[in-house]
Structure 1
Amino acid sequence: MPKTNDYELPVTQDKRSRLKWFGIAVLSAIVAIAATLCFFHIQNEEAELTIRLEKQQKLLATSRQESIKNWLQTMAEQGDRLINADLFRLFASEVNLLGDNIGSLYAEEATQADDSTLAQQLPMMRNLLDEFSSYAGFSGGRIINRFGQTYIATNANTSALTQQQLDLIHRVLRKPDVYFSPVYTSNNGLTFDMFLPIYPPEFEGDNAKPISVLMLSKLISGKITEIISASPLAEQGNTTHLIQKKETMLQDILPWQPDGLVAINASFGAVSGEVLPFAIRSNLGKSEKAYSYGLKIPNIDWWVVEEIDYDLARAELNSTIQTTIIIAVLTIGAFTLIMVLLWWLLVSQDNKKVADNFRQLAMTIKEQKMFLDSINNTIPDYIALKDQDGAYQYVNPSFASAVGRSVEEMKGLDDTAVFGYATANRLASSDELVNMSEQPINITETIFLQSKRYVMQISKAPFFEADGTVSGIVSVFRDITAAVEAEEQRKLTEQQTIAALATTIEHIDPYLGGHTRMLEALSIELARSMNMTEAEISTIEAAANLSQIGKLFVPRDILLKPGALTPEEKQEIEKHATHAQKVLGNIDFGLPVVETVVQMNEKMDGSGYPDQLAGDDIIPPAKLLGLTNTFCALIRPRAYRPALSVDKSLDILRDMEKFYDPEMFAALERLLTTRFGEKFMEEVTAA
């Protein structure tokens, strides 16, 4: 027996050792296989994401490119109908015979019969061009001879051609085709020019040379906004950009921005050729990464660029990677647990102990389930699951409590029963989007629960069955009412502070009483009549209330002096613009309010103060406020004169036409003839 025992013990230990190393080898193999499968699965998912994004962006970019090409082609066809008219070709051919001496066209009496005929035809040709431009929706047009001289234009005050326009004219004459200029900012918004060759009546074949060039200007802010607006086919975070190359600089065309053109960060890289390949680049104007793809527009240095934020595009992939890693870890853990249990069964004959271990494991699982349930039941966010018919199958206690029902009562109800008809309709549209795309979305909605208003950030995601079909929608409601109300209160406080400052300012000068309110009302209405942006209108509203703040620092004896001011006193008053800049300079309005307050005293001819800015160097809100401020000052009494009539004030402004934007002055005259203008003048007369 001792021999037997001595023999059986080594055998048992050797068997256990072999089983241990076998288990380690199996577990190592499982780890290696799991890691390999994870790697290839993640690589495959990333490749599928890249292919899907590339296909989507190519589809969107091609669609946008086609829209722009059709739009440009339509404009070119409109221009062709004009320049293909025999009357225009014949007239251009006869003007071409004059060479670079076209002065006889504008002389009242011509020395030669042919020149006289051309001079007599000129008004008719100008009218035809003007009628065509108005009918076809162009803001202006002109015809230029081969020497770069304009001999027909829709505007009598046509400005000189820029060097860029002359270069494009020479390009048309050298290589005949339709060309378009880069977009530039005009008084009315974003504009670009189209150039078309005009041939003589007898031209034939491809070797014909143009004798003149038709240049048409087009306002394009609205059209560009329409073209690059969000597509329903695009993923969340996908944006469309229309960029242009102007000389060596890339610009993002953004009609809703104050300047309309925004320089693109150099980190985006160079743009050339017909295609901007699909790749990961910097966001336009930012330093973050994005997936982007672009196509060039023929005959113009424009590229349609589709881009989607890198993090948003990869959100689902990152979730998949996390899920894959978790599954792999759980799989390895499960196999590890199995190996441990097998080892335990092989090395132990104590079934009771094994049973106790299983019971303990079951208790652990139950405790974990109870722990997870307790988290779900105490989480403050509202969690719900709806089936395909829109009926709630599960809600957490927070949601049920907010609705005023129990969890059991909520089961089977739909959105109409919970939120009401109007809110249910809005939520239904987002449900349809989730079902169609099978992708999660985020929305913000205002809802009412038990007659109380909530602003909710709602995340919706499809609920998949084991076979991959969508059987419902999981919704998570997060209450952001406090944050929204805090922002609204901040804005209200800011408006009240500005109003209080305006009242304080008016108290220093009795003649300023009511001036600020009159200036604010007239300026805002004039800005709206000119279709200025909401950002510009908000800027004008704040600047009008703060426009006189600098006068707090001007001596009262000068402000209230009844007689004419000396040059020194006038110079002292003009310092109010500098005072305003010092007072307001450190306040972040989020808008160019300070610039508007300071620049509203500048004049279009450069004779204003404090910096003698001129023309387009003055921002539009400041131009408008400068005009309305002068008008309101004229129709209000001052220490040195009584109030002037509206008609007299307009006459004075006409005499000062070089100081103010002519389009804004014309808009002011039109506004005063409207119902608002009549009511405004009645209030002025009553005051």
Structure 2
Amino acid sequence: MKSSIFKKSPSLVASILLALLLAMGIWLIFAYAAKERGRDLQQWQVYLGLIADSRYDAVDKWLEGQSGALRELSENGSLQLYLMQLSSREQQSQNGVEPAQLSYIRNLLFATAERTGFVAKSNLDSIRANLPSQADVGLMLLDQDGKLLLATAGARLDPVLANQAAKVLKSKQPAVQDLYLGASNQPIIGFLMPVFPLQVAKGDAKPIAVLVGVKRADEVLYPLLTRQIRTTQTDETLLVRREGDTAVYLSPLSDNSAPLKKRLSLDSPGLAAAFAIKHPGEFGQLRDYRGVEVLVTSRAFAQTPWVLVQKVDAKEALKESDAHQRFLLTGFMLAMLFIAAALVAAWRHGSSLRERHTAAQLRQKSHELKAQSALLHTITDNIEDFIYIVDKDQQFAYANKTLTAAWGLTPKDFIGKTLSSVLGPNVAQTIWTLADGALSENTPKQAAERLELRKGASGIYHSVAIPLQTGLQNSKNALVVSHDITALQADQARHELLMRQLLTTLMRAVDLHDPFTANHSSKTTQVALAIGKGMNLEKADLETLEMAANLANVGKLFVAKEVLTKTDSLTDEEQQALQKHVQYSVEILSGMEFPGPVLETIAQKQEYIDGSGYPKGLNGEHMLLTAKILGVANAFVAMLNARAYREGMGVEEVLDQLLSESKSRYDRQVVAALFNVAENHPEWIS
């Protein structure tokens, strides 16, 4: 019964098949566009994560520095001894004469304040405990009862600090007084450190005093959030914390909101700050305190209840991605529309031959085709892209108004003329090569070339040639869609420049973290590329080698600086910590897409051909050639340059050692290539 229905209604079957084809095509187009958007978001996740890590590290080091300054003063033996003597005296002074111990402590307190920045001004004057202070910056010394003994000029013991000091005396532990508005209505932060008696175990003794340091956040903390060079117009770094069911913004905002003044509910739909507090370290696309859509990631602090929020406006970040998606959707949808129209025309023509009333049906179908043609003309003539059809004789069968207007002609003037007569021989040759390839292989072809498709003006155009087969003459034509991507190419060039700048910044961060390996990555890259070229590596392998050499040591950012700069031999535990830098590098870069085996090359750079390397103990048969080259280049540069625990070696001495280890550690062919390259680079000796 089903077969009889198909025979009686072939148009129904054809319509169903065409609808299925269109539905599948539309689904594939949107799936591809979604994949492209996902890749762009992944790149921004990496970029925002690098900026957030950098600014988090600056703030965390600053917090540790403030506590460290107070800790150093609290462990001063003289301070502990004199405080013990003062606490044992029944009277602090007689006849108005101040005890010598108190005078010494005052001088020590003021000198520390001036050295560590706990001063409101350079001229320090002592004040009595019963005199009011005028600012919120300074150092204070409280006795074991929480009473003020000494304070620098400008320090003020307000109820908030007094309450926190009482907690420190009771808990015997250092504390940080979180940001709050001081007497001057400015955000301040306090650091409190207990002082214990001399030569008494801290666990058994009660504090004999408390050191309290106070600083204004707008002078020392907030600048750390904006100190680096901005690479976008709308990126912003914020500090927030959770108070009950609200998110409190601790730092100044771009809408001129003052610190600690703006509070928003954590239940606000899609609020970036709420997402950062609940899911620190994750990446998302939400709305900020202005209601603007942003890309955001975050980092949580261990010493304080703060969360660092790094964000950028989504409109700016995804501008290039949106333009690219529009181009993809427009180009592919037009291609589908033309293909569908061609299929409909072919089917109608074929079915008309099988009908009895051929003439009447042809007139009817001709009318329908004209209507469709008018619709297609209306669509194509209002699109900025150049759309045209070329036949096998290199003649225009169709051209939309956008193209014809660019040459001061009408669509009729193009029909029947050759490509060369209108566009010139050079442009015609480029377009016909693309169209002929599509017709010969019966598959779409695409290319990006600089063409003069506007009279007197050239640009970079992305052209797609799609083979079309007409039903009337059974001849093939090529549909060509040319999209001006000059601006997009420029944007991509700027994007690549930005990524290279980020790469340079990342290498600089590694150099700053380990001063004894400054410029190690750039030198290793230079040597590795020279070896690769000497071994006649393909261009793709050289690009993999260059990227891997530049990024190989990024994992050292997570190795303690004390291990990297230690002048003595490393312990087994320290050696294991140092070896983990390879794993850290791979983990940091695992979220990025590379055109070649960059991650595998980095993961194998410390492997040896005899299987004695790390982290997996691979032997030479299971190692990439790029990894073998990177391993030799890395060892060569490392031995040439001085380290914290040794002096640098000479070139000949290094080459001899590499040669001696070519049977156990390093590939003999790679070492031999290094020998040949070194002879042509006398500057490496210096």
Q: Which TM-score bucket, shorter chain as reference?
A: 0.3 to 0.5
Structure 2 length as normaliser, TM-score? 0.46
